């Protein structure tokens, strides 16, 4: 950040949500890509074939444009991020959407751009009403493609962000993946949007491009003018208009400290996650795709503590077969050798629907037929995955766990299916690890309460704190009105974690945490004190957690946990955690 001098104008601060870390200062460029009102007029019946031809040409042109963008992204930041545009391709190839447009055209006899915009916007509105934040964000994909198709139909071109030829901080109501792909990386310093969330494609691509980003700034794009002097703080989700000299001095110092800390974390790669008094904690990484493995290695993780396999299934025209899955799992397992990898079986159903299965819509998908329930209800899909995982286990470092287990019967049924698969592989003469460790995720309060019984049936516990908190406190963390109730330090959550850990140790098995709590260094001493044996954090955050572990002493952590378990409010417990963290590693905190 080149600070320069502070502004003589009054400083104004806008609070949003930081989704990509970093600090930037520069002049504002405001991007408002709204189209003028789409023309609407009646067409004669004899002109309908010409309208259909125009529509088909626009769809083909749009598809070509999306493929060009996808290739550009793949060259710039990798094929993994380019796959974001698969959803856009699905829109222009969606026969349900296209057929509805053609039926509406025949029925209403209006110009095709007007008809297409109406139908596509109706589809987007349906997604926008979904409970799941991921599906709500996908309505942006439809809006992006709709805008592109309509522009192609009326012969207009979108504003070219790539043509902005001076250093700037981009502000916009929202940014689509197409917008983000066109950013001139030579000049864009950071960006902020009125809308958005951590799960948005915009946030994903900001992190891939290593651009500081803040979303959820409400109406900031309408309140600030182009050329305004701003500072954007992606760590704390802050946009500062006309930063004062004092603010600039504070941020210069913050940036120096952050750079120094990040440089020091690189040196931790080959060191162990062991406390100052010799207690070793297994520190693993969460991944979604094989492309994440280099980050696992770069961070010095002891393998993979959570491989989310459902991402291998989504946005596919067909289900992956056994050979595809086997090759995938074996590749990832071989790349992390000699460290272990824990493969989570499918957490599909509910909010993560497979399009070609035509699953019924559920009013409350998070309490519906998902995860282990889905797998036991679709045994053919489940067995295909289990066989692939078993075959990959021949490498010797593969473990497996079932998600969203609510009781003993589900574990026994799932293990029964697993034994069927083992018998089939033996009969076929296929190699696998007979002793592969099988565990479960503790995400449901009923599983935590039944932990002693479950511990006698499984090889390990992995606590998924995201869902455990949501289900235990009955709070939807994406609902802005009650999001403040989503508190990891709630006394009930700590008691459940302690209960699970104690049950695991009594049965001679280990218990880990793979939810967001594992990545939060403020909570590291608390989890250590509660007796957790393993933490599986986001791959990029592993070095920070390792540094926190190495700075701590177990007596201090146990004393913190004992005090926290006697404390009756989440806020007071959080303050206790922050006091320990600031005493031992203040430079890792904001």
User: Is 18 in contact with 233 (CB distance < 8 Å)?
Assistant: yes
Answer whether the bond into residue 338 is a cis peptide, omega within 30°.
yes
Q: Position of tokens 């497979």?
A: 354
CA distance readout (Å), 565 to 251, 374, 451: 37, 36, 19
Determine the Cα–Cα distance for residues 320 and 245; give it in Å rounded to an integer: 57
Determine the Cα–Cα distance for residues 344 and 99; give it in Å rounded to an integer: 38
Among 139, 514, 557, 577, the one annotated catalytic: 514
E strands in 53-94: none
The closest alpha carbon to 31, from 144, 212, 193, 237, belongs to: 193
User: Is 460 in contact with 511 (CB distance < 8 Å)?
Assistant: yes
Ramachandran angles phi, psi of 189, nearest 5°: -95, -30
Extract long-range pairs of 329-332: CB within 8 Å, 24+ residues apart.
Answer: 329/388, 329/389, 329/392, 329/398, 330/391, 330/392, 330/395, 331/290, 332/287, 332/290, 332/293, 332/304, 332/307
User: Is 345 in contact with 375 (CB distance < 8 Å)?
Assistant: yes
Determine the Cα–Cα distance for residues 291 and 469; give it in Å rounded to an integer: 29
Helices 95-108 and 48-77: crossing angle in degrees, nearest 10, is 150
Q: Position of tokens 């609407």?
A: 40
DSSP type of residue 280: B
User: Is 496 in contact with 461 (CB distance < 8 Å)?
Assistant: no
210 is catalytic: no
Q: Which residue blocks in 348-490 are alpha helix, DSSP H?
A: 372-377, 379-392, 408-428, 445-449, 451-455, 465-473
Determine the Cα–Cα distance for residues 331 and 334; give it in Å rounded to an integer: 5
Among 31, 88, 168, 201, the one annotated catalytic: 201
3 state SS of 10: coil
- Beta strands across the sheet bearing 188-193: 12-15, 238-241, 229-233, 23-30, 168-172, 188-193, 213-215, 17-20
209: which 2 tokens? 């491009």
In the chain, what is the straight-line distance between the N-terminal and C-terminal CA atoms, in Å?
Answer: 17
201 is catalytic: yes
DSSP type of residue 194: S
User: Is 348 in contact with 355 (CB distance < 8 Å)?
Assistant: no
406: which 2 tokens? 């609510």
Active site residues: 201, 514
């Amino acid at each position: 950040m080149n600070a320069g001098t502070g502004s003589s104008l009054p400083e104004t601060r806008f609070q949003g949500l930081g989704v990509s870390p970093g600090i930037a200062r520069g002049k504002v460029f405001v991007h408002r890509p709204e189209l003028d009102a789409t023309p609407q007029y009646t067409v004669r019946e004899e002109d309908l074939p010409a309208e259909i031809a125009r529509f088909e040409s626009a769809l083909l042109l749009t598809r070509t444009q999306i493929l060009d963008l996808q290739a550009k992204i793949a060259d710039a930041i990798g094929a993994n991020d380019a796959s974001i545009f698969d959803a856009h391709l699905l829109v222009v190839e969606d026969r349900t959407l296209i057929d509805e447009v053609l039926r509406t055209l025949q029925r209403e006899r209006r110009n095709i751009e007007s008809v297409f915009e109406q139908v596509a916007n109706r589809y987007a509105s349906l997604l926008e009403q979904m409970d799941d934040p991921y599906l709500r964000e996908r309505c942006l994909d439809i809006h992006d493609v709709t805008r592109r198709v309509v522009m192609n139909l009326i012969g207009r071109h979108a504003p070219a962000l790539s043509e902005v030829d001076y250093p700037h901080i981009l502000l916009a109501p929202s940014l689509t993946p197409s917008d983000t792909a066109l950013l001139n990386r030579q000049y864009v310093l950071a960006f902020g949007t009125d809308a958005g969330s951590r799960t948005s494609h915009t946030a994903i691509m900001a992190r891939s491009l290593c651009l500081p980003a803040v979303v959820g700034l409400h109406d900031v794009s309408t309140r600030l003018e182009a050329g305004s002097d701003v500072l954007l703080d992606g760590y704390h989700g802050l946009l500062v208009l006309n930063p004062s000299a004092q603010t600039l001095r504070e941020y210069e110092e913050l940036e120096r400290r952050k750079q120094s800390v990040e440089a020091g974390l690189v040196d931790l790669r080959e060191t162990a996650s062991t406390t100052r008094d010799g207690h070793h904690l297994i520190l693993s990484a969460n991944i979604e795709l094989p492309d994440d493995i280099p980050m696992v290695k770069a961070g010095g993780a002891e393998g993979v503590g959570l491989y989310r396999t459902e991402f291998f299934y989504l946005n596919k025209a067909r289900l992956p077969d056994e050979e595809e899955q086997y090759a995938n799992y074996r590749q990832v397992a071989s790349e992390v050798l000699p460290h272990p990898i824990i493969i989570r079986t499918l957490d599909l159903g509910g909010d993560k629907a497979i399009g070609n299965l035509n699953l019924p819509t559920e009013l409350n998908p998070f309490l519906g037929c998902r995860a282990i329930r889905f797998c036991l209800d679709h045994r053919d899909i489940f067995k295909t995955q289990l066989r692939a995982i078993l075959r990959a286990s021949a490498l010797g470092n593969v473990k497996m766990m079932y998600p969203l287990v609510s009781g003993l019967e589900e574990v026994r049924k799932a293990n029964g299916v697993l034994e069927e698969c083992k018998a089939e592989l033996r009969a076929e003469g296929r190699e696998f690890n007979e002793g592969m460790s099988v565990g479960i995720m503790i995400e449901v309060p009923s599983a935590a309460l039944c932990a002693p019984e479950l511990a006698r049936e499984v090889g390990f516990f992995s606590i998924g704190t995201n869902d455990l908190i949501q289900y235990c406190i009955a709070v939807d963390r994406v609902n802005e009105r009650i999001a403040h109730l989503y508190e990891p330090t709630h006394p009930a959550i700590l008691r459940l974690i302690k209960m699970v850990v104690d049950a695991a140790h009594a049965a001679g098995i280990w218990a880990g945490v793979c939810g967001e709590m594992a990545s939060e260094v403020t909570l590291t001493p608390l989890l250590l004190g509660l007796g957790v044996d393993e933490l599986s954090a986001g791959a990029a955050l592993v070095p920070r957690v390792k540094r926190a572990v190495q700075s701590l002493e177990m007596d201090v952590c146990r004393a913190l946990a004992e005090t926290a378990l006697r404390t009756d409010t989440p806020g007071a417990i959080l303050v206790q955690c922050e006091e320990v963290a600031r005493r031992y590693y203040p430079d890792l905190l904001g």
